[in-house]
Structure 1
Amino acid sequence: MCLSTQSPVGSEPSSPVEEFSVRRISSFMLLRTQQLSSVPKTINSQDFRINDQIAKRTWYKYTIQIDSLEFTVKIGHRNRTFSAEDLMGFNNTGNICIWPSEETLSYYVCSNLSLFKDKKLLELGGGMSCLAGLFAAKFAAPLAVTVTDGNKVSVENVQAALHCNEFACPVACKVLKWGRLQGEEYDVILCADCLFFDDARTDLIECLWSCLRPEGVVLVMAPKRGGTLDNFIAQSEAKGFACKKVLNYSQVVWEKRLTLLENCEYVDDLHYPILIEVTKV
């Protein structure tokens, strides 16, 4: 039997602004969202500019539950629409909703906190939330976390969130263009749904090579989406990486996938995020 439903049933969607998205399947229902009744208090911020940015946002609590444990992060949403200037010159796909790849990567992080303990961590292309990186920074006790996006508007939004959450380590947020390489290296790199633009793939792989320590690992979460995932793997292996494709990385996510397969609007190729573990040979 084929069910025709817009999203899975049983929880709130992972984005409070679903109407802005054209996606048929918007969530694996791993995240609960709750709008906060007031602006959260800042953590050690006397910066008027930051406090003003915080006040201009509507704030939500994002919660992931693993068995009896709950993990929460507060994220603000801008109260105005994006101007053409805001959206010019960068890929803004991460700027409206929490996409399934970021959702499942965040769930994977919260399910495997020991992987990040005492590690130096980088998130690439985190959009307006950088959720996976922030969950790691708050709950996994890493050495340090840097979350990034190629867009200054996204970075400003995450910087506001940094002042409204208490983290277990130093956390930085900055603009990082993949084609402009930096010298700093990391133990773990997180990357969600960043593979679907062919013209950016080479820059992404070069950035991963430059930023990853010899014994480090990149955790990429993305759907097949035609040949984009396989093209990334082939090009990464040509660069000198080893890539391991993991289909069943969480029994909870896998069971939700099996349920979604009965949904007429669900397309596994487009909607199911696959985990790719990338290491240097």
Structure 2
Amino acid sequence: MESPTYSDTTMNKRTLDEKKSKHRWKILKNAILQKQCTESDPVNLVSIRRFSTFGLFSTNQLPGKSAQGGHRWEEYTCPHHSQINVNIRHLSNSFSAGELIGFNNTGNVCLWPSEEVLAFHCMKNAELFKNQRLCELGGGMTCLAGIAVAVCSDAAEVLLTDGNQTSVQNVKEVLAENSSKFGHTSVAARELKWNQRQTFEDLNGHFDHVISADCLFFDQFRRDLVDTIDVLLKAKGVATIFAPQRGKTLDDFCEFARLRFTVEVDHKYDQLVWQKHQEMLIQGKELYDENIHYPVMITLTR
């Protein structure tokens, strides 16, 4: 039998990447069609959601806080950080087309591993945010990382943002539920679309830190994300981004970012996350794809 040629290997990889991309969009399609992403759903069985967490947080559903529309509340705690204990409202998997069209919002469908790892990273490094102003970009339905900063640090201000109004409204509900846990930190949420700079000029040079998770996927917004970070950060501000490699998407973002920032890329940023990653490569290879599941850490400084 002949060995596969380079072109065959390249074509097979391209086909696999296309299938994974289609599976991600099927999750959104199911949401628009008001289908539930259950274990029996064939889309779920083959989609990237077959791996959904590194197990850094523990969750406990709060049935007594059920809301209209099938939304559910869950208590989030972390075995490694006793200070975090927050209630998060997860929206149902059913959305109208109007709730998803206009500005992509995969974060309204589910919580992705990059947000989980970013939140964990922020808790471990809470001292960095003392008396600082922080903004989370593209935080989806939970903005879990930004909320972790608000609870675990003595930040002066935390602003949680997303480009989708449904997501922002959900985050406001979460903030109201957890308001007693923020201490003296000023915490708010607002809609912020990276391609509409005129709508956030009031935030020019306002933040010491910008954080973001898994927001590099879409070609049309990658350069806008760099522009937005550039607008929001102070002269000596720092942006911390977690995202999977996902083909060339991370590299393309870094290429844009290097035009304005010093860019550092770190694959082994936390021993516990790295250990879990290595375990999944061995034990969970049927579910886990490093290219789309393992968050890489990107740091932007001026």
Query: In structure 2, do the counterparts of structure 1 residues 278 and 76 end up closer, same or farther at CA, with 3 Å as the change threshold?
Result: same
The two structures have a TM-score, normalised by structure 1, of: 0.84
Match of 2:186 among 142, 145, 170: 170
State percent identity of aligned pairs. Answer: 40
Report the aligned-residue RMSD. 2.0
For residue 61 of structure 1, what is the aligned residue in structure 2?
75
8 Å contact kept, 1:121–1:188: yes
Residue 38 of structure 1: SS of its match in structure 2?
A: helix
Residue 163 of structure 1: SS of its match in structure 2?
A: helix
Confirm or deny that 1:256 pairs with 2:272. no
Match of 2:293 among 260, 271, 278: 271
Query: For the residues of structure 2 that align with 1:18 and 1:72, how far apart are their CA atoms?
Result: 27
Confirm or deny that 1:232 pairs with 2:253. yes
Query: For the residues of structure 1 that align with 2:115 and 2:80, how far apart are their CA atoms?
Result: 16
For residue 47 of structure 1, what is the aligned residue in structure 2?
none
Deviation at 1:137, TM superposition (A): 0.6
For residue 96 of structure 2, what is the aligned residue in structure 1?
83
In structure 2, runs of 5+ residues without a counterpart are 1-36
Match of 1:159 among 172, 194, 199: 172
Letter in 2 for 1:259: E
Say which structure, 1 or 2, has more relative contact order (CA 8 Å, 6+ apart).
Answer: 1
- Within a 5 Å distance, the mapping from 1:23-62 to structure 2 comes to 23=48, 24-39=50-65, 57-62=71-76
For residue 154 of structure 2, what is the aligned residue in structure 1?
141
For residue 12 of structure 1, what is the aligned residue in structure 2?
none
For residue 15 of structure 2, what is the aligned residue in structure 1?
none
Q: Based on CA coordinates, which of the two structures has the bigger radius of gyration?
A: 2
Query: In structure 2, do the counterparts of structure 1 residues 155 and 18 end up closer, same or farther at CA, with 3 Å as the change threshold?
Result: farther
In structure 1, runs of 5+ residues without a counterpart are 1-16, 41-52
For residue 17 of structure 2, what is the aligned residue in structure 1?
none
Higher helix proportion, which one?
A: 2
Number of residues of Structure 1 aligned to a counterpart in Structure 2: 250
Query: For the residues of structure 1 that align with 2:93 and 2:253, how far apart are their CA atoms?
Result: 35
The two structures have a TM-score, normalised by structure 2, of: 0.78
- The structure 1 segments of at least 4 consecutive aligned residues displaced by more than 6 Å after TM superposition are 53-56
Residue 110 of structure 2: SS of its match in structure 1?
A: coil
Match of 1:74 among 70, 74, 87: 87
Deviation track 1:182-219 (CA, whole Å, cap 9, x = no partner) reads 23120000100000111111111110100011111000
Query: For the residues of structure 2 that align with 1:133 and 1:255, how far apart are their CA atoms?
Result: 25
